[in-house]
Amino acid sequence: MVTSTPERTSSPDAVRTPTVLAVLVVRDGIAWLRECLRSLAQQTHPRIAVVAVDVASTDGSSELLHQALGAGRVLVLGEQADIAEAVRAAVDLPVAAAADYLLVVHDDTALAPDAVARMLDAAEGIEGVERVGVVGPKVVDWEDPRILREVGRSVDAFGHPYSSAEGAGLPVVVSASSVSEPGAVPPTLIAAVPTSGAWVLGPG
């Protein structure tokens, strides 16, 4: 399991590799959790640290997280905690201060090995865009990968478009600055990047 602490590069001449803190949110996810942890460990992006936030699991998920990550990388919250509280608890950890991006992922998600690398390419590779708020991947069905579940932009029953980031179940890469800055503007969709299989949100 990848648990190294991201460290910012101080040399102005160095080509910086963005640092990522993966925030794994878990609630009774033992059926999928091993595969999720394995997918995080297999990411090709070299600078990822992982912390987990367990929300009152009773199925052995917490024990597995402690075994895989160590007690120092697992937070345990009460059953009333929601996704926002889980992410905030992780952001308040000292390790989060070194991260350029947060990867928020749920226990029922398995990422392709290059998923984080591709999302970061999308986040930092859009010409004319200085700051990206959120980047998300293409999502396929767990049982049948031929079924496309999400590409970042959907419409409701009345044809009104909305962003997938409004939901709570999708993996997303979030700019750390957009989380930490007081009064940050909610992001809006600014680009889809077919070559990366990603969609991108920026400041509204």
pLDDT of 35 reads 95
- Does residue 12 sit within a domain? no
Q: What is the SS3 assignment for 93? A: coil
The reply to whether 144 falls in a domain is yes
In a domain, 14, yes or no: no
Q: What percent of the chain has pLDDT over 70?
A: 65
Q: What is the pLDDT of residues 158-187, one digit of tens each?
A: 444 455 444 445 788 888 877 665 544 344
Q: 105-114, 143-152, 175-184: which range is least confident on average? A: 175-184
Helix (H, G, I), strand (E, B) or coil at 150: strand
Q: Are 50 and 73 in contact (CB under 8 A)?
A: yes
Q: Is residue 187 part of a domain?
A: yes
Domain ranges, residue 28: 20-203
Q: Is the model's pLDDT at 124 over the cut of 60?
A: yes
* pLDDT-derived band at 113, boundaries 50, 70, 90: very high
Q: Within a domain: residue 160?
A: yes
Do the domain assignments include residue 64? yes
Q: Say if 8 falls within a structural domain.
A: no
Q: Which of 14-23, 50-59, 112-121, 124-133 has the highest mean pLDDT?
A: 50-59
- List the CATH number of the domain containing 91: 3.90.550.10
Average pLDDT, the chain: 76
* Residue 154 confidence (pLDDT): 45
Mean pLDDT in residue range 42-49: 95
pLDDT score of 129: 60
3-state class of 204 per DSSP? coil
- What is the percent of the chain with per-residue pLDDT over 90, rounded to a whole number? 37
> Considering the domain boundaries, does residue 7 fall inside one?
no
Residue 61 host element (H or E): helix 61-69
Structural tokens at position 28: 């009774």
**What is the number of structural domains in the chain?**
1
Whole-number pLDDT of residue 160 = 47
Q: Which residue has the tokens 């767990």?
A: 142
pLDDT of residue 202: 42
Q: What is the pLDDT of residues 49-104, one digit of tens each?
A: 999 999 999 999 999 999 999 999 999 999 889 888 898 899 889 888 889 999 99
The residue type of 40 is: L
